[in-house]
Structure 1
């Protein structure tokens, strides 16, 4: 068989090592199979002609931009937290952008693995990371918001760019522009100026142990799983959602600050409180936590604060009517920081051990190996990186001014 037509009926040995590493860390049995579609969603066959780097790209969403990034980087596997395939496909065509990405990745020999709710449920997973943020204090981050790979239409200041003003390129409003800072009312200019930013956080650094560098918890508390999972004996404390109960009530303002710093969010995010109450006056004893869309997990949970990625209007209204507060961050902003702060180093450490084992076992077989397979096993490199193109679809538009003349800023 000529090398130009050489392919196999199985994935590369490095791909299999990545999959087994993810399954060790986050068994698929932990996932909520009532709706989720976790596991190996795209298995690209091993092709030595298009052999990829021994590298993994982590992302929350496998968008077209992330697929382009993986192809350019020559990654072997994309670990996409959200499954790119949720329901059965009746066709694969180039007309659909998600299917287009899958076809292009397969052509390039790149596989796709999605862990999703298995990561949410696992001890030390996404739920516990968010609980760590609420209960502890993270190191002071660098300026956390800047425009992430802006398109020409996503400039920080429409009016400023026309005038050549580059002072706002960081995407962080100055104190004079910040709508969350009290200021003396002033007349609006006659031109509209928008600032549009995406979350581009600085996450906690890792120690030699590979864990985020968290300061000791400043608030003693009890933590429990809201919906325990009992069918995986090796993970006895697994389950969906976390309920934190502080030994002493915590000011809501302190928890909001911890959350903002911990996830590296932009200047503002939604907070809902009961009518006739003030954020500054509220104390919180219990916090119910769920990454992403928390409605089903947090339903009927009695807590002073619901902390999640998103709730619908009516769900948030029902919570505040019961006397609870709500903090939402946009769906994936409760998830993306985990890739940087925890998963990158955790997977790299596990994958190095697993790849060493796979290589040693494979090379011991000797005679049964093709030269191409043996060559693949001879590469001891392991790289795990987080996508630079992945971001929540929502940014924050800050209205700096209005076309209306003579109206004071509120």
Structure 2
């Protein structure tokens, strides 16, 4: 008699939780590839921990981390599989990662644009940051550094004088508690609505309109604080303008790469995204708009820390309790029974996930 092949019961509970929080029907299915991308078979002889690892990108470093931790599931925001595969071999580094994970019994789920689109998801989190309010003054050293950086943008001074540049990689750190989210009066709307009966207000991108104009400098401070105080990020402003003299009444927001969604948005003052192409940024400042980009994944990683980890932990606990109760009523072997007796649940954010780009600081 052939043995039945199934995924680990805990993994099924995690997938169920993600689908209830951010259903795949919200995703941009015309090009995106969301959902359960790797379903690893359950091996009762070397059962994984009842733990989930959150990451933006599923890199070799994150795979090593998940294997070392004995996680059951990786929630990778970006899909590691976008197009059909004709083979899966060790020659390709991403396929090699998938093979290693399958051998260890670790499954991979990707929410990507479903998470962007959902009300209260990634798009709204970025809007909450833009409309936040600093409740504690920034550290003096950081403020002086920001002033110097902004001065170099407007005075034409060269920051590299008689010094060799050093390469500094500044990765995401958890946001401080000195930003009160969505505290500034505003209205917000969706750029590209998605009609979903269970998720009113869903859609890609957000437009924020402030009740009162906000200084660009204040928005820079909010964004910096909200995404973990990076050492710097690109800003584009119209030629002849200065950062301190710009007021912003409206902001177009898109996580990741915003060109497709924001490039034709004419009625906002600021475009806030992970990345825009050179020509898209030029076109924006020629129209009198400003641009803030954070490097692609730095618009996404903070959501895992600030929102998704706690949210998913609660939902997985619910789903795991339900699944354990259902499975106990079925005929199962001793190994499955042992798995179902384990009440432990953990959701953590990867410590090795990071944007590939750093900053060269003089």
What's the TM-score, normalizing by structure 2? Answer: 0.92
Structure 2 CA distance for partners of 1:140 and 1:50, relative to 1, 3 Å: farther
Partner of residue 149, structure 2? 180
CA–CA distance in structure 1, aligned partners of residues 158 and 31 of structure 2: 50
Q: Could you list the per-position Cα deviations for residues 320-353 of structure 1 after superposition, in whole angstroms to 9, with x for gaps in the alignment?
A: 1111100000000000000000000000000001
What's the offset of the Cα at 1:139? 6.1
Q: Does residue 253 of structure 1 match 2:217?
A: yes
CA–CA distance in structure 2, aligned partners of residues 120 and 138 of structure 1: 25
Task: Give the secondary structure class of the aligned counterpart of 2:31.
Answer: coil
What's the TM-score, normalizing by structure 1? Answer: 0.81
What's the offset of the Cα at 1:305? 0.3
Partner of residue 169, structure 2? 197
Structure 2 CA distance for partners of 1:193 and 1:290, relative to 1, 3 Å: closer
CA–CA distance in structure 2, aligned partners of residues 186 and 241 of structure 1: 35
Which runs of structure 2 are paired with 1:200-239 in the superposition (5 Å)? 200-203=172-175, 215=180, 217-230=182-195, 232-239=196-203
What's the offset of the Cα at 1:216? 6.2
Task: Give the secondary structure class of the aligned counterpart of 1:250.
Answer: strand
CA–CA distance in structure 2, aligned partners of residues 107 and 132 of structure 1: 41
1:77 touches 1:111 (CA, 8 Å); kept in 2?
A: yes
CA–CA distance in structure 2, aligned partners of residues 93 and 58 of structure 1: 25
Which of 29, 45, 51 is the matching residue for 1:49? 45
1:204 touches 1:341 (CA, 8 Å); kept in 2?
A: no
Q: Does residue 393 of structure 1 match 2:347?
A: no
Q: Could you list the per-position Cα deviations for residues 32-51 of structure 1 after superposition, in whole angstroms to 9, with x for gaps in the alignment?
A: 01110000000000101121
CA–CA distance in structure 2, aligned partners of residues 276 and 193 of structure 1: 28
Q: Judge which range, 368-377 or 280-289, deviates more.
A: 368-377
Q: Could you list the per-position Cα deviations for residues 81-128 of structure 1 after superposition, in whole angstroms to 9, with x for gaps in the alignment?
A: 000001111111111110110000000000000000000000000000
CA–CA distance in structure 1, aligned partners of residues 293 and 67 of structure 2: 33
Q: Does residue 358 of structure 1 match 2:323?
A: yes
Q: Does residue 281 of structure 1 match 2:281?
A: no
What's the offset of the Cα at 1:200? 3.0
Q: Could you list the per-position Cα deviations for residues 124-182 of structure 1 after superposition, in whole angstroms to 9, with x for gaps in the alignment?
A: 00000000000012665998xxxxxxxxxxxxxxxxxxxxxxxxxxxx99979x96387
- Name the structure with the higher helix share: 2
Q: Does residue 331 of structure 1 match 2:303?
A: no
1:141 touches 1:202 (CA, 8 Å); kept in 2?
A: no
1:8 touches 1:47 (CA, 8 Å); kept in 2?
A: no
Q: Does residue 87 of structure 1 match 2:83?
A: yes
Structure 1 unpaired stretches of 5+: 144-171, 206-212, 400-410
CA–CA distance in structure 1, aligned partners of residues 264 and 294 of structure 2: 21
Structure 2 CA distance for partners of 1:32 and 1:55, relative to 1, 3 Å: same
Q: Does residue 118 of structure 1 match 2:114?
A: yes
- The structure number with the bigger radius of gyration is 1
Partner of residue 341, structure 2? 378
1:274 touches 1:324 (CA, 8 Å); kept in 2?
A: yes
What's the offset of the Cα at 1:199? 2.0
Q: Judge which range, 244-253 or 134-143, deviates more.
A: 134-143
What's the offset of the Cα at 1:276? 1.3
Which runs of structure 2 are paired with 1:287-298 in the superposition (5 Å)? 287-298=251-262
CA–CA distance in structure 1, aligned partners of residues 35 and 123 of structure 2: 19
What's the offset of the Cα at 1:193? 4.8
Task: Give the secondary structure class of the aligned counterpart of 2:308.
Answer: helix
Task: Give the secondary structure class of the aligned counterpart of 2:230.
Answer: coil
Which of 226, 232, 242 is the matching residue for 2:206? 242
1:7 touches 1:48 (CA, 8 Å); kept in 2?
A: no
Aligned residues: 356
CA–CA distance in structure 2, aligned partners of residues 77 and 222 of structure 1: 37
Task: Give the secondary structure class of the aligned counterpart of 2:7.
Answer: coil
Partner of residue 158, structure 1? none
CA–CA distance in structure 2, aligned partners of residues 187 and 313 of structure 1: 23
CA–CA distance in structure 2, aligned partners of residues 141 and 346 of structure 1: 29
Coordinate RMSD, CA, aligned: 2.7
Task: Give the secondary structure class of the aligned counterpart of 2:261.
Answer: helix
Partner of residue 317, structure 1? 282
Q: Does residue 30 of structure 1 match 2:12?
A: no
What's the offset of the Cα at 1:197? 2.3
